[in-house]
Structure formats: C-alpha cells, structure tokens
Amino acid sequence: MTARPAPDTRARGRFITVEGGEGAGKSTLVERLVGALGERGIRAVATREPGGSAGAEEIRALLLGGATERWDPVAETLLLMAARRDHLRRTVWPAIAAGRWVVCDRYADSTRAYQGAGKGVDPAFIEHVQRSVDEGRAPDLTLVLDLPAALGRARARARRGKDDAAGDRFEALESSFHERLHSAFRAIAEAEPGRCAVLDATAPPDDLLAAALRAIGDRLPLPLRPA
C-alpha cells in the first residue's frame, strides 16, 4: 500500500492571538511578530480587537469612547461579539484561507477576562455566544503576556496620548478590576496549556519577541527558519 504524502502545512494559514492586561505590550509585539514572521518567509497580517474590519472599527469607537459605565456589561459583551463576527468573516478567515498567518491584538480571552471575570458576565453566556460567533474555530496559539496589574497601568498611563484612545475607558476602572484581569488571564492559560503560552511581559522587547518566536516554533507545525 502506497503511503499517502504528508499534507502541505505551508498552504494553511494560522491564527495567533496576543492577550494580556493594559500596558502589557501586546500591540508592539504583534507588529514585531508580523515583521519577524515575514523575515522567515511566512506571510502574516496584523489585526486587532475590537476592530480589524470596517464594521468592527465602527463598533470599537462605540465601545472605547464615553463614560466608564457607558454600557451595561451584557450589552458590552454583545457589542464585542458583533464586532468579532464581522472581523472574523471579513478579515481573519479570508486571510487564513489565502494561506496567511493572522496575528491579533486581543481576541476571545479578553472578553472572558474583561467582561467575565472583570465585570461579572456569566461565563456560560460568553461561551455560548462565542461558539456561535467563531463556529468552533479556536486560535492555533494564544500568547498571554503576563505583567503585574500595577505596572501595566503605569505603562498605559505613560503611553496615553501617543496613539488612539483605545483602552482609556477600561484603564480608568478601579485597581481591583485590573487585578481580576491579571488573575483571569493566568487562569485561562493554566486551563488551556495546549493553546496558551505565558510570556514574561516584564522582559525587554527583544527578549519578549524571542520568547514569542520560540513559543510559535514549539507549538505550531510549520518550522521557522533562523533569521
């Protein structure tokens, strides 16, 4: 009997998400990862949540602007899910189908942490809606940037005004909220070690990038060539 050839994993795109609390360095790592993957011959695209598509960016503006308690936590969750569905259909899934790797700044774990652990939305409700939104397609790898909540907030305050208003409404919430986020992200990673890799976000940027690339090389079947 003739052996079947191994599938060409290079033809399949991958979905990598980067998670963590405020000020953990997610956006910087996403951009640097896309560049590093490109140097290794991997076509990659950077995106973000909420946002990443025209419709989702409009919802982002609704979510991140205004008063701290502008939205009831359940309404906030539903807005995030609506943005996510548009993002998946218009950006993430087409890129993966075309063989590209997608590196996303925040995804479903942020909803589990912020709206679930942080604001008390029923986790079962979040998971039910998420399954409808993502049709059962989980990320191939999630990089969780671990940083003490107080340090993350200090970093976020320092960068404020250098980019858009993203995160300001959440940054303004009480310290206990951010401590719950930190605990929630660690719990998510501990519960799903096959999907999640925890990275020390106190490390210098070059060391953090190197750790992220090692995690990708260890977890995903497409080998990375040395830079």
Give pLDDT tens digits for 197-208. Answer: 999 999 999 999
- Computed over every residue of the chain, the mean pLDDT equals 88
Look at residue 101 and give its three-state secondary structure.
Answer: strand
Number of domains in the chain: 1
Give helix 54-64 / helix 73-87 axis angle, nearest 10°: 160
Query: Does the residue 100 lie in any domain?
Result: yes
Q: Domain of 142: which CATH number?
A: 3.40.50.300
Query: Does the residue 19 lie in any domain?
Result: yes
Query: Does the residue 55 lie in any domain?
Result: yes
Q: Under a CB-based contact definition with an 8 Å cutoff, are residues 23 and 159 in contact?
A: yes
Query: Does the residue 77 lie in any domain?
Result: yes
Percent of the chain with pLDDT over 90: 72
Query: Does the residue 8 lie in any domain?
Result: no
Q: Under a CB-based contact definition with an 8 Å cutoff, are residues 40 and 57 in contact?
A: no
Q: Which domain holds residue 175?
A: 15-218
Sorting pLDDT into bands at 50, 70 and 90, what band is 59? Answer: very high
Strand partners, 175: none
Query: Does the residue 157 lie in any domain?
Result: yes
Query: Does the residue 24 lie in any domain?
Result: yes
Query: Does the residue 185 lie in any domain?
Result: yes
